[in-house]
Chain A
Amino acid sequence: MISTAMKPMLSARTFRAIIIATSLSTLAACSPPPSSKVLIETGNKSIISSYQAFSLASQKLNKAATSYCKAAEDNQKFETVRSTWREAVLGWSTVQNIQFGPLMVDNQAWKIQFWPDKKNLIARKVEALLKESDVITPQRVDDASVVVQGLSSLEYLLFDAKAGTLERYTGEKGQRRCELLVAVSDHLNNVSSGLYNSWRADGGNYISTFSKTGEKNTEFPDDNIAIGYLLDTLVSGVELIKRDKLERPLDITTGGNGEENHPLQTQVYQLEWWRSQYSKQAIITNLHALKNIFNANEAYGLDDYLRDVKQQSALSDKINDGFKRCIAAASAIEGSLFSIANKPEHRQPILAFDSELANLLAVLRNDLPTALGVSLGFNSKDGD
C-alpha cells in the first residue's frame, strides 16, 4: 500500500520537475540571440519611441494651430504655435535619418520636409495655393504638391519674415492663411501618426518585420541584413549632417582639417530650417537620436553587441565618445548658423564641429562595418 501510495506522489514531483525543466529550456530557447535582441530593443526602445514622440509633437502642433486660429490676433497663441512647431521639428529630427521601413515608402519624408528648397518653391507654391478659391482641407493639402505639405511649409507660414507674421493672419485674407496653417498641421499629424502606427505591434507591425528576420521575411532574410540598415542609418545620418547641413551651406571645404584660405561663399538659404534659424538644434537632436539608436536607448543596442559578441569594447566606447564630442562641439557654437554664417569670428567653432563630425564618420565608415561583419556596400563603394 505504502509503495503504491508513494508512486503517484513521486510521479507528481517528477512531473513538476519536468514541467520546470521544460519551461526553463523553453525560456532559454525563447531568449533571442544577441543580434535579434539588438533589433528588438533598438526597434522598440529607440525607433518606435521616436516615432511616438514625433507623432505626439505633431498632434500638439495641430491643436495649437487650431486653437490659435479661433483668435488669430492672440500673439501668445501664435508664439505657442511656433514653439510647438519647434518641438515637432525636434521630433522629426529623431527619425529623419532612419534608412528603412515605412518612412521610405511613397515619399513620406518629402511630405514632412522639403529641403533643400533651391528654387524657393515653398514660398511660391504656398502663396499660389492661398490665391486659389477652393476650400482648404487636409485632403486638399494631400492632393497638392508635397512642397505645400509638412514642416517646411509650416515653417514658411510661421517664421518667414514677410509671410509668417501675426499680422498676416488678421483680416479677411488672414482667415484663409489660418485655414492653410490648420490644414497643413492636420495633414502632418496624419502622416506622423501613420508612421508611428505602421511600426507598432498593434498597428502595421513593422517592428516584427524588422526584428523577426528569416527566410520568410520579405525584407530581412537574416539579422545581419537588418543590422546593415542600422549601420546605414548611422553613417548616412552623420554624412547628411556633415555635408548637407553644415559644409555645403557654410562653404566648408577643408574636409575637416581646419585650414581655410579662400573667400567664403556661403549659401545660407540652403541651411535646414533657415527661416526659423533652428538648424543647430535640429542637428544636435539628430546626433542624440543617432547615438540613441546606436545604444538602443540604454537597452541592448549595437554598443552592447559590439562589446559582448564582437569583443570590441574599445570601438563601442570610441563611437559613443565620438557622438558626445560632436554634440559638445555643436552645442559650443554660439548663435544660429544662419546668423553667424558669414562672420569670420564665429568660424572656428563651426570648423571644430566639422572636424569632430569627420572623426566620427571615419570610425563609422571604416571601423564599424568590419567590426559588425556587415558590408557598408559592395557595389556602392566601387561598382563601375
Chain B
Amino acid sequence: MGMQRRHFLLGSSAILFAPRLLLAAPSGLGDNSNKRGFSPVLSAASNANGHRIGVWRNDGWQYSQPINHRGHDSAYHRRRQELIFFSRRPGRELYIVDATTGSALLTIQSEEGYHYYGHGCLSKDGHYLYTTENHIDNDGAGSIGIYDCENNYRCVGHIDCEGIGPHELALMPDAKTIVIAIGGIKTLPATGRQTLNPETLAPALHYLDIESRKIVEKVAAPHYQLSLRHLDISPDGSVLVGAQFQGQLPSDKPLVFYHRRGQTLQTLDTGELPLHFKRDYIASVSIDDRGKWGVTSCPRDNLVCLWDLQSLSLSQVWNLRDCAGAIYDQAYEQFILSNGDGQLLALVPGNKTLKPLAYSAGTHWDNHLTLCV
C-alpha cells in the first residue's frame, strides 16, 4: 500500500487557551436574562484574527485553539474523551483534542495522495474513525479513510466509495452500515475548488457495508446537478439529506429528501409554496432524538427550515442571516443553530420564534455543530 503515516504530536508546543472563567449560570432559568440553557458544542469558527476549533459552553469558549485554515465538521469520542476536528477540502489534517483539558493531542496528516472533505464518523464501539476523502492520486475518486482510534488514529486503509465527492457520512443504527452523501463534484488541489466534471455529476446516497467493505445500495439524486452533501439519520434508520444545486439558480427544485433502505428517495413537500430559495443551498441537516422533526439550514438564502418527518412536509421557516450549524440538543429538547454572525440560537419545534443562546461578536461559526455530551 505504501502508506506514509505522519503523525505530529503537538502536546505542550500547541498554543492553548485556558478555560475561561465561567460566571454565567449553566441554565438560563431563574436568572434575569431571557436566555435558554444549552449543551456545550464543538465547532470550528473564524474571526478577524484567524481560524480556531474548540468547545463553546454557555457564554464562552471552554477551550479553543487556532488552526491554519477553516475547519468544518467535528466528532466527539465520548469513551476516549477526545474531540476530532476535520479539515475541509483540500485540507489534509485531522485534529485530535483532549476533551477534558482542551489540549491538542495529535494532528493526523491524510495519506499521501488524499485530502479530507470535512466530515467523519465513528464506529459503534469507538474503535474506528471513518472519513470522507478525495483520492487525488486516483483522479479524484471518492474514498472512505479508516483510522484506528486506539492506535493514535493511525490510518489502516481506504475503501472506494464508488462515487466522486463523498461529503457527510453517518453510521446507521444497525452499526454495520455507513450512509454517505455523494456530492458528485470532482475537484483536484491543482485546480482549487473548480468543478472539473460539471456535465457528468453523479450525486447519490451510497450505503457502505463496513464488514465487507462494499457499497450495498446506491440511490441516485433526482437530478444530476442536485449535489447531495449533508445528512442525518433518524433512530429508525431513515435518512434526511440536503442538496446544493450546481446549475443555473434558482432551480425551483426540491432540495431535501428522505430515504429508507430499499425504498426510493422521497421528496419533502413544501406545499404549494416553492420555498423562496434563490441560491438552492442546504448546509446542515439534523434530526431530533425521536425522528419526528428535521432541521435544515440554508445560509445562502438566510433561511432555516423545520420539517415534519411524519408527514414529510415543511412545518415552519425562519429568517436567519448566514445560518450554518444545526444540531439536536436532547437535554434541552431543542435544536441549536449557529450562524456566521456569531449567534447561537435555539429552535424549539412549536415555538414561533428562535431564542438566543449565546452571542460572540465578530465570530463566524462554521458550517457544523457537534454536541459535547
A interface residues with partner B (beta carbon < 8 Å): 99-100, 104-105, 107, 109-110, 118, 145-147, 215-218, 221-222, 224-225, 228-229, 232, 236, 239-240, 375, 377-380, 382-384
Say yes or no: A215-B33 contact (C-beta < 8 A), given A110-B273, A222-B361, A229-B321: yes
* Distance between Cα atoms of A222 and B201 in the complex (Å): 42
* Distance between Cα atoms of A380 and B361 in the complex (Å): 18
Contact at A221–B88, with CB atoms within 8 Å?
A: no
B277-318 near A? 1/0 per residue, CB < 8 Å: 011010100000000000000011010000000000000010
Q: Inside 8 A of B150's CB, which chain A residues have their CB?
A: none
B350-373 near A? 1/0 per residue, CB < 8 Å: 000111100101001111000000
Q: Inside 8 A of B321's CB, which chain A residues have their CB?
A: 225, 228-229, 232, 377
Q: Inside 8 A of B343's CB, which chain A residues have their CB?
A: 221, 225
Kindly identify which residue among B33, B72, B319, B323 contacts A384, using a CB–CB cutoff of 8 Å. Answer: B72
Contact at A107–B273, with CB atoms within 8 Å?
A: yes
Q: Inside 8 A of B89's CB, which chain A residues have their CB?
A: 384
Contact at B88–A218, with CB atoms within 8 Å?
A: no
Kindly identify which residue among B276, B278, B341 contacts A225, using a CB–CB cutoff of 8 Å. Answer: B341
* Distance between Cα atoms of A105 and B324 in the complex (Å): 20
Kindly identify which residue among A146, A239, A377 contacts B322, using a CB–CB cutoff of 8 Å. Answer: A377
Contact at B273–A377, with CB atoms within 8 Å?
A: no
Contact at B272–A145, with CB atoms within 8 Å?
A: yes
Residue in B closest to A374 when the chains form the complex, CB atoms: B341
Q: Inside 8 A of A378's CB, which chain B residues have their CB?
A: 46, 322, 324, 340, 364, 366
A253 → B minimal CB distance (Å)? 11
* Distance between Cα atoms of A229 and B323 in the complex (Å): 13
Is B266 positioned at the interface, with any CB of A under 8 Å from its CB? no
Q: Inside 8 A of B252's CB, which chain A residues have their CB?
A: 118
Is B200 positioned at the interface, with any CB of A under 8 Å from its CB? no
Is B163 positioned at the interface, with any CB of A under 8 Å from its CB? no
Is B349 positioned at the interface, with any CB of A under 8 Å from its CB? no
Kindly identify which residue among B118, B319, B364 contacts A379, using a CB–CB cutoff of 8 Å. Answer: B364
A196 → B minimal CB distance (Å)? 19
Q: Inside 8 A of B367's CB, which chain A residues have their CB?
A: 379, 383-384
Q: Inside 8 A of A147's CB, which chain B residues have their CB?
A: 272
Within 8 A of A (CB), among B1-36: 33-35
Size range of the chain B interface in the assembly = 35 or more
A selection of 12 A-B contacts at a CB cut-off of 8 Å is: A109-B276, A146-B272, A147-B272, A216-B33, A216-B34, A225-B343, A232-B302, A377-B321, A378-B324, A378-B340, A378-B366, A383-B281
B interface residues with partner A (beta carbon < 8 Å): 33-35, 46, 72, 88-89, 118, 193, 252, 272-273, 276, 278-279, 281, 283, 299-300, 302, 317, 319, 321-324, 339-343, 353-356, 359, 361, 364-367
Contact at B300–A380, with CB atoms within 8 Å?
A: yes
Kindly identify which residue among B273, B281, B324, B359 contacts A221, using a CB–CB cutoff of 8 Å. Answer: B359
Residue in A closest to B252 when the chains form the complex, CB atoms: A118
Given contacts A378-B46, A384-B89, 7 further A-B contacts (CB under 8 A): A146-B273, A222-B361, A377-B340, A378-B324, A379-B340, A380-B299, A382-B193
Say yes or no: A375-B322 contact (C-beta < 8 A), given A218-B353, A228-B341, A380-B299: yes
* Distance between Cα atoms of A384 and B302 in the complex (Å): 16
Q: Inside 8 A of B341's CB, which chain A residues have their CB?
A: 224-225, 228, 375
Say yes or no: A377-B72 contact (C-beta < 8 A), given A216-B34, A225-B341: no
Q: Inside 8 A of A228's CB, which chain B residues have their CB?
A: 321, 341
Q: Which 9 A-B pairs have the closest CB atoms?
A: A378-B340, A378-B364, A104-B319, A221-B359, A379-B299, A379-B324, A377-B322, A380-B300, A380-B299
B49 → A minimal CB distance (Å)? 14
Contact at B273–A383, with CB atoms within 8 Å?
A: no
Say yes or no: A375-B319 contact (C-beta < 8 A), given A107-B273, A218-B34: no
Say yes or no: A380-B272 contact (C-beta < 8 A), given A215-B359, A218-B354: no
Contact at B283–A383, with CB atoms within 8 Å?
A: yes
Q: Inside 8 A of B193's CB, which chain A residues have their CB?
A: 382
Contact at B356–A221, with CB atoms within 8 Å?
A: yes
Residue in B closest to A236 when the chains form the complex, CB atoms: B278
Q: Inside 8 A of B279's CB, which chain A residues have their CB?
A: 380
Contact at B322–A379, with CB atoms within 8 Å?
A: yes
Contact at B340–A375, with CB atoms within 8 Å?
A: yes
Residue in B closest to A240 when the chains form the complex, CB atoms: B278
* Distance between Cα atoms of A217 and B361 in the complex (Å): 14
B337 → A minimal CB distance (Å)? 12
B93 → A minimal CB distance (Å)? 15
